[in-house]
Chains A and B, each alone.
Chain A
């Protein structure tokens, strides 16, 4: 079985700068790590690999510097690591990113199972998984908290939703995005690290993907960031301190009065 894991690299610090013209993140010059939530997707793939004749490839889209994050996946046990990198990909929103990932999966596939994390810790949209699945025309299950079963006939998963838990059986190929409840990601072994150091990370550009210029990068992105601002402070706070604390407590009490459980004795 061929498994593909979608990885995003995220800045390893909170000090992210934005390009004031395009409103997109400046990723150059910032250290990157694998999005922590994607590690659960990778771990899911590695556990499947352990129980059968399966191969695990990871793919990420980003600037050349993202290579180090992708290398980490080899250290953890992935067989193949691919970085989609091309100047023409820069400024991609979730649609254009998904397009590149979907095209890669088509060209290098077919993959039987595609795994993704719930969302990235920087953008927090959680859109690339389902968008990629829709572009590939395959079933998608999101918010998966448990892999129940996997065999040739399909994958059975548990989804955690607002009103409870669902068990779904999906045929293969399918795309599954997992939450952090699905497993505890492993740490790279010493051996894995050694392997990763010498591993070659494949770099793939649009020469290979052959996407139309209108489908990639900023040009292929339907959304535009038009304005950036800081969250506004909309309240005027009344402060209670020292001797006035008592008054503050009385004020809270007054506010809570309508909610008191009068019959609680």
Chain B
């Protein structure tokens, strides 16, 4: 049986949720062609038992761990060279990694060393009938079109996927639970690059990527002062404020809030687009939300094509009315 490798994303000692999302997708692909799904974990510490169990029940048949102190934080040369050695040993058909700052760096390096193709930021992955090739779909040219790409004659077929694009398995996977240690030789970890310092960011507002409810503002709010009802409402419901590219460019809010192709891809339970017209770039970042509310004055705005409910009217007035209505109910 051929192999599929998922490269795990770590945050310190924790395995990041994007790894489980990729495992979920990997299991789905394995129904279309038999695949042994392995998670590759590069770390400076051995994997804890509960973390390993979570990976197995999340869909992994096998964990391939490589432990070395140079894997503490992502470092280009040790990561790309070691991953290349692992890929050469296991000869997978498919390699998947999250499209994070590290994944988007080591995956191109890996593709270069292995002379194979890589597709960035895939929003869809499928197996082609007949050939068994991996079909990789991604937004192209500012999201105006979706391009499906394959790597017909080179192996492995490689893709990165933004966090929150796919869902983890809903039911626990019954895994054989094989843990393999990959011995890291000295030549694989040699590099002149050295980490001098690391400054973690403090716990502030929940990042837009992890938010369950997002209230996003756009130019339809007309002026920065009108962001007030967005913040007010977001506070009431423990939500997070998102933004269109235009209001970020106008400096109404920082880039960390930007949703869309050049910002974050989000997958909240509820997404409220207030005064956002729905440029394709924006849609590409939020269409994975479970429930979408669009508020816009223009009843022909593109955003309504992507919403579950649409309210035609002034976004500022409607948000204020909504906030007041919620407030009066809570007080009662």
Contact = CB atoms under 8 A, between A and B. Distances in A.
Could you tell me the dominant secondary structure of chain A's interface residues? Answer: mixed
Nearest to B99: A126
Interface in A109-166: 121-135, 139-143, 154, 156, 159-166
Interface in B277-311: 280, 283-284, 287, 291-294, 299, 304-311
B76 A133 contact: yes
Interface string A216-241: 00000111111111111111111111
A223 B145 contact: no
A231 B139 contact: yes
Contacts of A160: 101
A240 B194 CA distance: 57
A212 to B, nearest CB: 12
B23 to A, nearest CB: 20
A245 interface: yes
Interface stretch (B37-45, B50-58, B195-203, B220-228): B195-203
B212 interface: yes
Contacts of A222: 111, 115-117, 151, 153-154
A94 interface: yes
B65 interface: no
A227 B148 contact: yes
Q: How large is the interface on A (under 10, 10 to 19, 20 to 34, 35 or more residues)?
A: 35 or more
Contact of A169 (B146, B194, B237, B310): B194
A95 B299 contact: no
Contact of A252 (B149, B200, B236, B293): B293
Contacts of A142: 76, 101, 104-105
Contacts of B149: 223-226
Given A229-B145, A262-B330, A131 B120 contact: no
B237 A259 contact: yes
B48 interface: no
Interface of A: 14, 16, 18, 23, 25, 93-95, 98, 121-135, 139-143, 154, 156, 159-171, 174, 221-242, 245, 248-253, 255-256, 259-262, 264-265
Given A134-B108, A238-B310, 20 more contacts: A125-B120, A130-B104, A131-B108, A135-B113, A140-B76, A142-B76, A142-B101, A142-B105, A162-B11, A162-B101, A222-B111, A225-B147, A229-B148, A231-B145, A235-B308, A237-B309, A237-B310, A252-B309, A259-B212, A261-B238
7 contacts: A16-B144, A135-B113, A142-B101, A162-B100, A224-B151, A225-B149, A228-B147
